[in-house]
Amino acid sequence: MIKTDVCIIGAGPSGTSTSIMLSKLKIKHYIVDKATFPRDKTCGDGLILYAYKSLLALGLLDKFVAHPKFIHSKKINLHIKNNLKLQFKESEDRNMVISYGKRIDFDCFLVNELSKEYATCEFGSGVKNLEETSEGIIVTLKNGKQIIAKIVVGADGIQSIVSKKLAGFSSDKKKMSTFISAYFSNVKMPSNNEAEIRLHYNKMPLFFYVFPLPNNEVNVTLGGNTQKILDNNINLKVEIESVIKNHSKVAPKFIDGKQISSWRGWGIPYHFERQKVCGSRFLLVGDAAGLANSFYKEGVGTGMMSGIICAKKIASCLKENNFSDSFMSSYKKDLDKEFGKLLRFSEFALKVARFKSVFVGIAKISKNIVEKRAFNIIRKRSY
C-alpha cells in the first residue's frame, strides 16, 4: 500500500491547481485521474475572471498569455436582445477580459506544470472505492493499486465519487445547468476575437455562445438550467441548430460555416450553498464542490481558485496534525469569503432572467452603471 499525506482525485483544472500550489508549499502528494493526458473534455472553452487570478497566483499567467493555443480579447458583449447589450471591457493597460482555448489544450497545459519533485501522478486508472480508517482514507484504484492518505481532495467533477462517498451528496437538477456544444470552422467572426454571446428565450432563458478559437475554429454552445429544460421539454440540439439557421443576427455568420465535430453535452453544477465541501480527512474543489457561477457559467476559474485555497488549508491541517471535521470546517468559510457574494448575486440574476420583460427592463435601466463599474468588478476577481 502506498502512503502519502495527500491524494488528489482528478487532474482537471481544480485538481492540478491544488497540486501546483501544494508543490509551491513543498508538500508531497499523489494526483490520480482515470484519463491519460492530453485528453479531451467537453466545455464552452472560455476563461475569465478567477482563471486569471489563479494563473497569477500559480506563477503561470505570463506563460498562458504567450501560449499559441490560447487567444484573448479585451471585450465581452452580452446581447440580451437584438438592440440591447451589456458590454464589459478592459482598460488599455490590461491584456484581456476573456480568453479562449480548447480544454484538451488548457488541461494539458496545467498537467505539464505539475511538479516532478512533489507530485506523483497516477494517470490512466479511475477510483474504484474509498474507505475511511483511523489512519486515513484508503483510495483503491481500478488497476488494484491502493493509496492511503491523511487527506483526500475531491477534484473529480460533477459525478464526484469523493462527494458521494464522503460527503453523502446527491445531485440536484434544480442547481445544475445542461449544455450542448460542437466545433465549427469558417464562421464569420470579428477580427478582435469578439465572441457571440446571447440570452436566448424559448419558454426559459438559454445561453448561446460562439467562442473563437485558434485555426479559424469556434465553439458553439447552448444551454440553461437542467430542471427547466426538462420541464419545458426543450431539445437543445434542435434549438441550437434553429438559432444557427434562423436567428437574424447569428445566421449570417454561419453562411460558410462547417460543423467539424458532433454535438456533445455536459453539466455545470452550482449547488455550493447546500453542498458539504469538507469533513473528516476530505476537501472538495471545483465542480465537486458545486462552485460554478450559475449565470455566466464560469467553472474553470472558480475551480482553480478553490484548489489554491484548498492547498493552503491542507498545509494548515498537516502543520497542526489535525484532520477532524471541526478543524476542516473553516475551509467552507474561506470559499464563501472568496466566492459567496458573487455566486449568490449570480443566482439572483438568473432567477430574474426567467422573466424576460423584467430582466430587459432592469438591463436597460442599469446598463450605464454596470458598464461603468465593470472594470472594477473584473479587476478585483482577476489579475
Q: Label the pairing between strands 29-33 and 2-9.
A: parallel
C-alpha cell at 127: 477510483
Q: What is the pLDDT of residues 228-287, one digit of tens each?
A: 999 999 999 999 999 999 999 999 999 999 999 999 999 999 999 888 999 999 999 999
Give me the mean pLDDT over the 80-105 stretch.
Answer: 91
Angle at 351 between CA 348 and CA 355, to 5 degrees: 135
Asked if 287 contacts 269 with a C-beta cutoff of 8 angstroms, the reply is: yes
pTM across the whole model: 0.95
Rounded-to-integer distance, Cα 111 and Cα 154, Å? 17
> In angstroms, what CA-CA distances link 349 with 62, 231, 248, 345, 362?
33, 20, 26, 6, 10
Angle at 179 between CA 362 and CA 184, to 5 degrees: 105
Band (pLDDT 50/70/90 cuts) for residue 21 is very high
Cell 489563479 found at: 54
Given a cut of 90, whether residue 314 has pLDDT beyond it is yes
Q: What is the pLDDT of residues 142-178, one digit of tens each?
A: 999 999 999 999 999 999 999 999 999 888 899 999 9
192-219 exposure pattern, b = at least 16 Cβ within 10 A, e = fewer: ebbbbbbbbbeebbbbbbbbbbeeebbb
Given a cut of 90, whether residue 20 has pLDDT beyond it is yes
pLDDT for 169: 87
Band (pLDDT 50/70/90 cuts) for residue 184 is very high
Rounded-to-integer distance, Cα 143 and Cα 123, Å? 11
Whole-number percent of the chain with pLDDT over 90: 90
Angle at 278 between CA 274 and CA 282, to 5 degrees: 145
Give me the mean pLDDT over the 92-105 stretch.
Answer: 92
Q: Which residues contact 365 (CB under 8 A, 6 or more apart)?
A: none
Give me the mean pLDDT over the 62-82 stretch.
Answer: 94
Mean pLDDT of the chain: 95
The answer to whether the Cα torsion of 355, 360, 361, 363 is positive or negative is positive
Measure the N-to-C terminal CA separation of the chain; round to a whole number of Å. Answer: 42
Rounded-to-integer distance, Cα 206 and Cα 291, Å? 20
Concatenated DSSP letters of 29-55: EEEEESS-SS-------EEETHHHHHH
Strand partners for 131: 138
Given a cut of 90, whether residue 220 has pLDDT beyond it is yes
Strand partners for 383: none
